[in-house]
Amino acid sequence: MTRILIFSLAYYPIVGGAEVAIKEITDRVSGIEFDMVTMRFEESQKTIEKIGNVTVYRVGPNSSYLNKILFIPRAITMAMGLNSVKKYDRFWAVMTYMLFPISLMRIFWGNKTPYVLTLQDGDPFARVFKRPHILPFLPLLKYGFRNAEKVQTISTFLAGWATKMGFSEGVVIPNGVDFSLFEKHFNSDDLLGARKVIGANDKDVVLITTSRLTHKNGIDTVIKALPLLPPNFIFVVVGVGEEEKKLKDLTKKLMLEERVKFLGFIPHDRIVPYLKTSNIFIRCSRSEGMGNSFIEAMAVGIPIIGTPVGGIVDFLKDPSTDSTSSPQAGSGQAQTGFMCEADNIKNISEVVQKVASLSLEQKTKIITSAKNLVKEKYDWTLIAQNMAKILG
């Protein structure tokens, strides 16, 4: 039995793309025993518990700024103790900063356990590596990249980061979707209930985003575009994050309280009815490692609007723009969605109206191409098989 220790800053019930990926992959991989060191965000969370196929060890009393700094030495202490008993075959660092505890263990404690790095970062390269408080530790991160056994990234965009940081060549294995969830046929009560929560009628055009409320996701630009759209266009925001108050204040300032609906946190398995009852998925990202929410909307079967940044260009192909080609997408790929310009409010409103005015035939063709791409390349079962080859 292969034993792997995962390093991740957060895990369930704190859920983002990286956390979902870990669970979906570990639930589908056999022959490997998974443990994890992660942060204890609240005192109510158990210090040790089994979640799916992962035994989770949480360190620290809470997620205060000080405890986030102390996570690294605490993670090292926990990992060294666990490793002395279990003798792990491999470490798995999920996200760039999880290289810190592994690199320090190698340098100061002589721990030479081979490790795999997974890049799931959504922030720009400069924010991850060039902020003033990170620069003094940049040599440590570069050491971590150079000594990794393998670097797996969720997009061709992030694969370029591995090369910049001194690793020869990253392996692209994207995040995926669970088709049993996103192709599920919900009954009419579920769909009507979601529409009722949204507060939309049959004449409304519902734009939806399922996003963390952060600057990089460009939610503010969609709100600013609404006044340029007819009054029956409404915007549904599913998610929480540090910019929630700022976005709500912007909505109030623009007098759009009746057209922007903040639904807060909705469990992952309950999001689908809201997507199914919406007309367009939109996220005008300023940066994006991959953008799993786009893939989920494509699997559900609604048109998507995104920006030509980061990993989005791997799956969103819009022939009307020149900047969406990528090695993974391929120049001959059929249209799978629509591109708008980040931070260009006028352009965002024009693209939204363009998508809303599609004929049923046009919309069906694009939705079908998008769904076929997701089935071929972004199914979790296929992704877990590819990850097992790297981790095993």
- Residues 18, 151, single domain; the answer is yes
pLDDT above 60 for 135: yes
Q: Do 200 and 259 fall into the same domain?
A: yes
Note the pLDDT of residue 187: 65
Q: Are residues 139 and 224 in the same domain?
A: no
pLDDT tens digits for 331-383? 457 899 999 999 999 999 999 999 999 999 999 999 999 999 999 999 999 99
Q: How many domains does the chain have?
A: 2
Is residue 363 domain-shared with residue 224, that is, in the same domain? yes
Single out the residue in 172, 205, 223 at which a domain terminates: 172
Residue with tokens 């007098």: 255
Give yes or no: residues 101 and 116 share one domain: yes
Q: Are residues 184 and 167 in the same domain?
A: no
Share of the chain above pLDDT 70, in %: 95
- Expressed as residue numbers, the domain containing 208 is 179-377
Whether residue 160 is found in the same domain as residue 53: yes
Residues 80 and 183 in one domain: no
Domain limit, last residue, from 108, 137, 172: 172
In a domain, 254, yes or no: yes
- Same domain (yes/no): 165, 184: no
**Is the predicted pLDDT of residue 184 greater than 70, yes or no?**
no
Q: Do 318 and 362 have their domain in common?
A: yes
CATH number at residue 134: 3.40.50.2000
Q: Are residues 135 and 223 in the same domain?
A: no
Q: Whole-model pTM above 0.75?
A: yes
Side-chain half-sphere of 67: how many Cα atoms within 13 Å? 15
